[in-house]
Amino acid sequence: MTVHIGAKPGDIAETVLLPGDPYRARWAAENFLEDAVCVNEVRGMLGFTGSYKGNRVTIHGTGMGMPSTSIYVNELIKDYGAKTLIRIGSAGGMQEHVKVRDVIIAMTASTLSTPSRGIFKELNFAPCADYGLLRAAADAAEAKGTPTHVGGIYSSDVFYDERPDLNEQMVRHGILGVEMEAAELYNLAARHGVRGLAVLTISDHLLTGEALPSEDREKSFGDMVEIALEAAFA
């Protein structure tokens, strides 16, 4: 048990999927895991452990933004022994060829700032995914026939962005989409020698203004969850 996770020793699997929304964690556990049980509900941040094709898996919420993600990822790694951590979340599309409901597998995550910046100081560390996971996720997406893009994303530290000039540069430099958590996950995975990946579903688009209604988001996120699970145990 930690300050933010009430699970007992052994309750958390070595493989953890990380949606931001705790209710998405519950939805994913109910729909993709066998014999899922709730192992955490401290502060309403739900976590569930069950099995996928005979492999033990935990699906645990992280909340919104890199500071919240950093708390849960640190505790999952250092206190519960998580070895493979895959973010499953939504992102905003930033390229015309990236469509709503498409999946992004994030190879790198650019950012202005993360909770790890105090460690790196003047160094511009380049957070990136674990290659084995990335390759396995790309293979799983191809096998499913899911429209998928592999490349760089932007992890923003604000939701209500007022930097159109920065967004223009992200688009200009081929960034596929924007979200708020992956860069810190990749930093922590590198620091602690574990595997990290982000598999994201495009829920809205910065260029076109298109967006999925909230009631459609869960149904559109199934491919992302399956890709993440297949990649974890490839």
Residue positions annotated with a catalytic role: 204
Q: Does 202 belong to an annotated binding site?
A: no
Q: How many CB atoms within 10 Å of residue 3?
A: 10
Q: Does 20 belong to an annotated binding site?
A: yes
Q: Does 181 belong to an annotated binding site?
A: yes
Angle between helices 22-32 and 222-232 (to 10 degrees): 70
Residues 6+ apart with CB under 8 A from 186: 108, 109, 127, 128, 129, 196, 198
Q: Does 196 belong to an annotated binding site?
A: no
Q: How many CB atoms within 10 Å of residue 205?
A: 21
Q: How many CB atoms within 10 Å of residue 31?
A: 13
Q: Does 175 belong to an annotated binding site?
A: no
Q: Does 90 belong to an annotated binding site?
A: yes
Q: Does 88 belong to an annotated binding site?
A: yes
Q: Does 179 belong to an annotated binding site?
A: yes
**Residue 65 corresponds to which tokens in the numbers above?**
């933004």
Q: Does 110 belong to an annotated binding site?
A: no
- What distance in Å separates the CA atoms of residue 151 and residue 130, rounded to the nearest whole number? 13
- What distance in Å separates the CA atoms of residue 77 and residue 14, rounded to the nearest whole number? 9
What are the residues facing 199 on neighbouring strands?
88, 105
CB 141 within 8 A of CB 208: no
Indicate the annotated binding residues for phosphate. 20, 24, 43, 87-90
Which residues make up each annotated binding site?
A: 4, 20, 24, 43, 87-90, 179-181, 203-204
**Annotated binding-site members for a purine D-ribonucleoside:** 4, 179-181, 203-204
